Amino acid sequence: MSQTLYYSTNKRSPAVSLKDALLTGQAPDKGLYLPEQIPQIPLDEILAFKDLPYHQVAYAVLKRYTEGMIPDEKLKNICRDCYDYEVPLEKVFGNNHLMRLDHGPTASFKDFAARMMARWMRFFLEQDQNDLVILTATSGDTGSAVAHAFHNIDRIQMVVLFPILEVSDRQRKQMTTLGGNVTVLSVDGKFDDCQAMVKQAFTDPDLKNIRFSSANSINIGRLLPQSVYYFYAYARLAREGRPAVFSVPSGNFGDMMGGLLAKRMGAPVEKFVIATNANDEVPKFLETGRYGKIEPSRVCISNAMNVGHPSNLARLVDLYGGAMDEKGAISKNPDMERMRRDIFAVSIPDDETRAAIKETYEKYQTVLEPHGAVAWAGLMRYLTAGGKPELAISIETAHPAKFPEEITRLIGIDPALPPSLAQVEKKPEQCQPMDKDYGQFKKILLGKFA
Ligand SMILES: *Cc1c(COP(=O)(O)O)cnc(C)c1O
């Protein structure tokens, strides 16, 4: 098979290799990269995944995208190195299951993608003897997963900015206890101030000798690894190749895009339940065919999903034959009928999310956290609406111990911290305070990297 190229959803810049797509992130025309050909995996091979550990499934799926760019042996080792943790599948009741993607080092499903992206980047940088500085502004989960993924990765320096008052103690410690190649700056300001400084640094001519990248959620290197767990769960739980339903808690819709790619690659999925919190712009879009962002985004307890203009939407529209630009304007309508056949979209308000956490614990002794509970409640709505899946898998994206106040208040237990998070509590913190002052930020960057 020949090498896969990646095109931009805005179609105004040329298709590029995986390496270029990965190292640039967003295409020059501000579109998002997608593979020109979606590789196919035959059903008998998918069913045989049931006997493989997760890292081998990852290798079998991802080698189809890295062919000709990363040698197979290298990719095998990278997969083993990335996925050295469990991916539990639990039956909750009847045909309904839970997949816990929360056993990685930062107890968030973002570990799955961030770890792979970091290792792919290192591979390509080593090839060219290049170095890279990753700049990221964060208000929580993404920053810790990305910082952890790049920690101790050769040829890469990482700088994380976070708003001092908007990040919880636990989230902060996950970033400030890493040290080494990870520099953490606590900003006396808001998330938007951090974001603005990062953006300015990217285009500052005085910094043009420093090679920057952002590693944010639209990077193709984060999208592709998110299709692997759909194959993994399907193979382990499906009977005789019959189709499954997945329920996906969604914010920027990267997780869902991974699922849709898996379906296009051949995974037998009859429906994706796409569950958002009160930020319901995508369920509304599926219902009406019209898209409007929500500004500012609504604050909900599933805070990693408080997104009013999802960054992966242009990819969804493109996959169904339409065109949407980076601002959300649609210039060509997608095939809405086909989209509705594949996707059942629901918006779950906080009270229903809390009720799902309570009920799932009381009835089945299963502990959910707010994001996974949104997906679970979405699946329950699908069943109520008459869906009769032979196999349903709801995705849990964070560990309940990351939300101790909410969980304790609702079900009266304080979930034990997974070992990776417990260790963090005791380590010393390193963090440089700064004002929301670009001049100061620039001086730090010049001092460290110029
Ligand atoms: C980021 C995140 C989500 C949303 O995933 P998207 O790919 O942005 O839709 C859901 N749950 C948790 C815990 C997250 O960190």
pLDDT in tens, 200-236: 998 899 999 999 988 777 899 999 999 999 999 999 9
User: 249 CA to middle of ligand 1, Å?
Assistant: 7
Provide mean pLDDT across the span 254-276. 98
Q: What's residue 168's pLDDT?
A: 81
The region of weakest confidence among 90-104, 126-140, 337-351 is 126-140
What count of residues does the chain have? 450
Positive or negative: CA dihedral 39, 321, 311, 342:
negative
Residue type for 207, please? L
Instruction: Ligand 1, residue 145: give the atom nearest the CA.
Output: 15
CA-nearest of 111, 129, 115 to 211 is 129
Average pLDDT, the chain: 94
Strands, sheet with 212-213, edge to edge from the N-terminal-most edge strand: 212-213, 132-137, 156-163, 182-188, 432-435
Nearest residue (CA) to ligand 1, atom 2: 304
Atom of ligand 1 nearest to the CA of 372: 11
Q: Do 163 and 189 touch, CB atoms closer than 8 A?
A: yes
Please give the model's pTM, rounded to 2 decimal places: 0.95
Q: Residue 132's closest CA among 252, 7, 221, 11?
A: 221
User: What count of other Cβ atoms lies within 10 Å of the Cβ of residue 385?
Assistant: 10
User: What pLDDT score was predicted for residue 401?
Assistant: 92
| Of residues 135, 147, 145, 99, the one with CA closest to residue 245 | 99
The pLDDT, as a whole number, for residue 18 is: 96
Q: Whose C-alpha lies nearest to ligand 1, atom 1?
A: 304
Query: What pLDDT is stored for residue 428 in this prediction?
Result: 94
**Pocket residues: Cβ below 6 A from ligand 1:** 108-110, 141, 249-255, 304-305, 371, 397-398
pLDDT at 384 over 60: yes
For residue 175, give the 3-state DSSP assignment: helix
**And the tokens for 143?**
């920053």
Q: Which residues pair with 97 in a beta bridge?
A: 91, 393
Based on its alpha-carbon atoms, the radius of gyration of the chain, rounded to whole angstroms, reads 21
Of 129-138, 258-267, 356-365, which gets the smallest average pLDDT?
Answer: 129-138
Per-residue pLDDT, 1: 54
- Distance from the alpha carbon of residue 195 to the mean position of ligand 1, in angstroms: 19
Domain boundaries defined on the chain: 87-108+222-411
Is residue 140's pLDDT more than 80? Answer: no
* CATH fold label, 87-108+222-411: Rossmann fold (3.40.50)
CA–centroid distance, 22 to ligand 1, in Å, is 20
Percent of the chain having pLDDT more than 90?
A: 84
